Amino acid sequence: MPTHARDRLLQAAQELFFAEGIRAVGVERLLSVSGVGRASFYRHFASKDELVTAVLKGRDASWREWLAGAVAARGNDPLAVFDALAAESGDGDFRGCAFINAVSEIADADSPVRRIAAEHKRAVTDFIAGLLAAAGHRESRALAGQFVLLMDGATVTAARERSTEPLLRAKEIARALLG
């Protein structure tokens, strides 16, 4: 576990929020798991909501870096996004998409959490549009939006069914879109 209080809080929050849900995890639990005192918590974060946004911003950067690397390792084929997601979802602890999960818990349409999730999905769409354009596909932006729709739906289904099969089916639908 990291030695700095802020890093310990971020790590504990990421693990707990993803495993149990944002609203289910209170500040007391975060303090207990992270080993950080209350005063130190509030020195780093004005509120739990501020911690949630910091966790999601960090998750955005690390997840998109992971996706780019996983797709590059598979030859930058646009369809490789589904293979990468299937490989990730094969983990027994798979809980779906952190951003979809967060949005499902936050009712406030103006919440920073919803803004961060929307920015994340736009960035993923941009990445996929770039892959599609580089592979010579016309209408790469529209296709990328369809890919993200398939990815999101298949990710939710994979988490529900505890199976990689929905992501592999989504890949075949995406293949048909490209055909």
Q: What is the CATH number of the domain that holds 3?
A: 1.10.10.60
Same domain, 104 and 160: yes
> What domain range includes position 38?
1-45
One domain for residues 130 and 168: yes
DSSP letter string, the chain: --SSHHHHHHHHHHHHHHHH-TTT--HHHHHHHHT--HHHHHHH-SSHHHHHHHHHHHHHHHHHHHHHHHHHHTTT-TTHHHHHHHHHHTSTT----HHHHHHHH---TT-HHHHHHHHHHHHHHHHHHHHHHHTT-SSHHHHHHHHHHHHHHHHHHHHHHT-SHHHHHHHHHHHHHH-
Do both 41 and 57 map to the same domain? no
Same domain, 66 and 94: yes
Residues 82 and 131 in one domain: yes
Q: What is the pLDDT along the chain (179 residues), one digit of tens a residue?
A: 556 999 999 999 999 999 899 999 999 999 999 999 999 999 999 999 999 999 999 999 999 999 999 999 999 999 999 999 999 888 777 889 999 999 999 989 899 999 999 999 999 999 999 999 999 999 999 999 999 999 999 999 999 999 999 999 999 999 999 98
Domain CATH code at residue 108: 1.10.357.10
Question: Is 124 in the same domain as 83?
Answer: yes
